[in-house]
Structure 1
Amino acid sequence: MQHANKGADVALDGKGLRIGIVQARFNEDITDALAKACRDELAALGVADDDIEHVSVPGALEVPVALQALAERERYDALVALGCIIRGETYHFELVANESGASVSRLALDYRIPIANAILTTENLEQAVARQTDKGRDAARVAVEMAQLLATLS
């Protein structure tokens, strides 16, 4: 059996892809860094700036609603979810992390569109800062790779 996709061997080419990005504003310094890294990597992969729609929402719980609105347009090859949830002293962290993550996954399956989930869930600000650039870059690469894969499987 041959594998259609060998992970690290995949040549990523974003030319002609249309990508939607939804960024939560809560913990804005982190999410701005995620967005910058994501957009820079998308550009490096050949995604034209005109082919990117970037919207912002108040927080991680609102990200899925905006993702759904973008998915319903049927204009995008992939979507990206950007956010940052930092653990506090209450159960709110688990609620937001679990609900946003489950909703993003459900939307990807319901709309059959790749959604790169870069909603960080960290114990503290230092962990978020340490991950902001790599995770933003990773989200762009996942979006492009999965858009390419789904195009070949269709």
Structure 2
Amino acid sequence: MLGADKGQSGSLKGEGLVIGIVRARFNDAITSKLADNCLAELAAMGVLDKHITQVTVPGALEVPVALKAMADSDDYDALIALGCIIRGETYHFELVANESGAGVTRISLDHQIPIANAILTVENEAQAWARTEEKGRDAARVAVEMANLMDDLL
């Protein structure tokens, strides 16, 4: 029915979902805390540990490559990108932030797989720490909700 609102929205029930997580090692303490919070939220929504694959890459620019390999496998209902880019004194911040974000989006669209992008882009380390709990948990919720929504839509 053209123009009809399907009334669909993804649920936050993670039972049976298979999730892939790619975490950048750069700023390791911060990204590890993001991952801890993400995993805790996935567990709270019912995603089993055995249905979660975690890989670690050197930095944010490498995250899309690993996400693409996971998306190519067709083994996952949703993916999660975790990283932390802190502004420095050079243009490198913009390059890494823009290119990693564009890569994540491109893979999601090309493969029609939800990817929760929780690659923090912040001015300083204090801002990163202030965001680790909520952004880690939010990434898990986005992945589960979108996986369920895509299942309903496709």
TM-score (norm 2): 0.95
Give 2:113's aligned residue.
Answer: 113
SS at match of 1:75: coil
Give 1:153's aligned residue.
Answer: 153
| Corresponding pairs, count | 151
Q: CA deviation at 1:50?
A: 0.1
For the residues of structure 2 that align with 1:2 and 1:103, how far apart are their CA atoms?
30
What amino acid does structure 2 have at the position aligned with 1:70?
M
Task: Map 1:4-153 to 2 at 5 A.
Answer: 4-5=7-8, 11-153=11-153
2:8, 2:152 within 8 Å by CA — same for their partners in 1? no
2:116, 2:140 within 8 Å by CA — same for their partners in 1? yes
For the residues of structure 1 that align with 2:153 and 2:118, how far apart are their CA atoms?
24
Q: CA deviation at 1:3?
A: 5.2
For the residues of structure 2 that align with 1:4 and 1:82, how far apart are their CA atoms?
30
What amino acid does structure 1 have at the position aligned with 2:89?
E
What amino acid does structure 1 have at the position aligned with 2:21?
I
2:87, 2:123 within 8 Å by CA — same for their partners in 1? yes
Identity within the alignment, %: 66
Structure 2 unmatched runs, 5+: none
Q: CA deviation at 1:74?
A: 0.3
Structure 1 unmatched runs, 5+: none
Q: CA deviation at 1:11?
A: 3.9
For the residues of structure 2 that align with 1:87 and 1:147, how far apart are their CA atoms?
32
SS at match of 1:53: strand
2:86, 2:123 within 8 Å by CA — same for their partners in 1? yes
What amino acid does structure 1 have at the position aligned with 2:142?
V
TM-score (norm 1): 0.95
What amino acid does structure 2 have at the position aligned with 1:81?
A
What amino acid does structure 1 have at the position aligned with 2:145?
E
For the residues of structure 2 that align with 1:152 and 1:5, how far apart are their CA atoms?
7
Q: Alignment RMSD, CA only?
A: 1.0
For the residues of structure 2 that align with 1:140 and 1:77, how far apart are their CA atoms?
12
- Superposed CA deviations along residues 39-83 of structure 1, whole A, max 9, x for unmatched, are 000000000000000000000000000000100110000000000
For the residues of structure 2 that align with 1:147 and 1:11, how far apart are their CA atoms?
9
SS at match of 1:85: strand
